[in-house]
Amino acid sequence: MSDLPPNSATSPKVALVTGANGGLGRWCSLGLAQRGSVVILGCRSAQRGQAAIDWIHQRVPAANLELLAMDLANLASVQEAAQELAERHHVLDVLVNNAGVMMLPRAMTVDGFEQQFGINYLAHYALTAQLFERLLASEAPRVVSVASLVANHGSVQLDDLQGLTHYGRSRAYAQSKLANLLFGKELARRAETKGLSLTSVIAHPGFANTGLQRRTGRANLGRVGEVAMIGANLLFAQSAERGAIPLIRAATDLTLDNGTYLGPDGLKELWGRKAAPAHVPKAALDEEVARELWEISATLSGVSFPL
C-alpha cells in the first residue's frame, strides 16, 4: 500500500470489513492493520477468512485480527454476526460495507430478495442499523459504503426493487450500487440532522481486478466467459490493491466531510494511485428517493435505525 499518501489519516481502533477474505476487502483490511487497527474480517467462509488472516499476518506479523462469520445472503446470519460483534466489543469505530456480488443470473437470497439487491445493499443496511449503538459509542464513528462507477448509469426502481417485472443482470447490479451511494448520502444527512458525530463516506474502486469479474464471466458464460474476463482484467484493470486505496482513505481520513464520495484520481476515475473526490451521479442526489429507499429497507429487513 505504498501508494497511499503518508500521514493522511488517523487510525481507527476497531474496524469491521465485510467481504474481507479477498479482493478489495482483503487489501482494505491489510491497510487498516498496517495503521494499527483491530480488524474484524467479516467472511462467509471460515476457511477463506482464515486464509486472509494468514495472508495479512505474513505482511503485518503483529496485526490484531479477528474472524467474524457472516452470510450477507441471510439476514438472520447478519443479525447473529452483529450480536457476536457486540458481545466482543463495546465500541466499533469503523464499518466498511464492502462485500458484494456482480452481474449474476437471477437468484434469490435466503429471505427471498434478488441477490444483488439483497447482498450488496439490503444486508449492509441491516448490518449498519444493528451495529449503530456500537458505532455511536465511538468518539468518531465512521461508516464506509462501497459503490461503483456503474452507479452512474443506474436507477433505483422503488416499485420493483426485486426485478420481478423486468430483470437484467447489469441493471440489478447498477441499482444495488446506486442504492449504496444513496444510503451513504442519506446516512450522512440523518446523522447531521441529529447532531451525531458519525461520519458516512462512500467510495468506489474504479475498474479494479477484484475477482468479481472472473466469477461473473464463469456464472454467465462458463469457462469461456471466465477466461474472457481474466483477459480483460489483465489488459484494462488496475490491481485490487490500487482499487482499495479510496476505501482505506474513506475509512481513515478524519478530514473528510460527511457524505464525501471518493474514487481513483486517474482518467475518468477508472484507475489511480490516490483517492480523490468522485463524480456524484444525478440520481444519487435525489433526497426523496433516498428517504423512500431508507423506509422501504426498514420494512423489508425488519430493522430500523435508532434515529
- What's the rounded Cα separation, in Å, for the pair 228 and 73? 28
Q: Are strands 64-69 and 275-277 parallel, antiparallel or unpaired?
A: unpaired
H or E segment to which residue 202 belongs: strand 199-203
CA atoms of 117 and 123, how far apart (whole Å) = 9
Q: Which of 121, 125, 173, 261 is catalytic?
A: 173
Q: Is 173 a catalytic residue?
A: yes
108 three-state secondary structure? strand
* 102/46 Cα distance (integer angstroms): 22
DSSP secondary structure letters along 204-229? ---SEE-SHHHHHHHHHHHHHHHHHH
Q: What sign results for the dihedral spanned by CA atoms 57, 59, 239, 226?
A: negative
* Residues identified as active-site: 173
